[in-house]
């Protein structure tokens, strides 16, 4: 094989290696800084998000916006931060959350929750949400292990990883 041909093959291989390495670096940067992926292992968010669903969230969203009641978020579980959870924000900083006969009251006013498929039950609280923290509930309250049951009741703002925006498996659904 001629020296010219060897150089040509090396250049071609190096060209492909650069493309592959660049693609890997870009994918890692997107995954680490822009997009968060999550798998929902339980039925705690049904019927909004079925068990086994795959979710994408925007990591940068709360760098430009404040978390709002009703947002579905991916966050570090307060009792074990090595685990990521997905729940809905119910209580905002400074608010009092109380659950009476399954109905949620924020500062004494009934919260409208059209995303619930079943009438929840039970009495919990009242909870006084600390500054820079949030009270989280699952949409399927009968099976959801959420702020009502955690040892560390609230999620601090800096532990929110991303706002969930799309369920892409088993079907495509925008989450807002």
Residues labelled as active-site residues: 44, 87
**29 CB neighbour count, 10 Å cutoff:** 10
What CA–CA distance (Å, rounded) separates 86 from 91? 15
Please state, in angstroms and rounded to a whole number, the distance separating the CA atoms of residues 66 and 25.
Answer: 30
What is the rounded CA–CA span in Å between residue 83 and residue 145?
A: 13
Q: Which long-range contacts (CB under 8 A, 24 or more apart) does 80-88 make?
A: 81/159, 84/38, 84/161, 85/136, 86/38, 86/40, 86/45, 86/49, 86/55, 86/164, 87/44, 87/45, 87/136, 87/137, 87/138, 87/144, 87/146, 87/147, 88/45, 88/115, 88/136, 88/137, 88/138, 88/139
CA distance 57 to 13: 36
């Amino acid at each position: 094989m001629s020296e010219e041909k060897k150089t040509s093959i090396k250049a071609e291989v190096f060209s492909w290696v650069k493309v592959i390495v660049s693609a890997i670096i870009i994918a890692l940067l997107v995954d680490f800084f822009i997009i968060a992926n999550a798998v929902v292992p339980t039925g705690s968010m049904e019927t909004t998000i079925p068990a086994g669903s795959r979710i994408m969230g925007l990591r940068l969203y709360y760098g430009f916006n404040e978390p709002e009641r009703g947002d579905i978020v991916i966050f570090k579980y307060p009792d074990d931060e090595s685990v990521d959870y997905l729940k809905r924000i119910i209580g905002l900083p400074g608010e009092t959350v109380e659950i009476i006969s399954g109905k949620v009251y924020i500062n004494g006013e009934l919260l409208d929750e059209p995303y619930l498929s079943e009438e929840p039950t039970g009495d919990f609280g009242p909870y006084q949400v600390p500054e820079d923290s949030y009270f989280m509930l699952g949409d399927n309250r009968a099976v959801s292990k959420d702020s009502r049951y955690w040892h560390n009741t609230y999620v601090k703002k800096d532990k929110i990883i991303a706002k969930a925006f799309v369920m892409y498996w088993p079907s495509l659904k925008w989450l807002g």
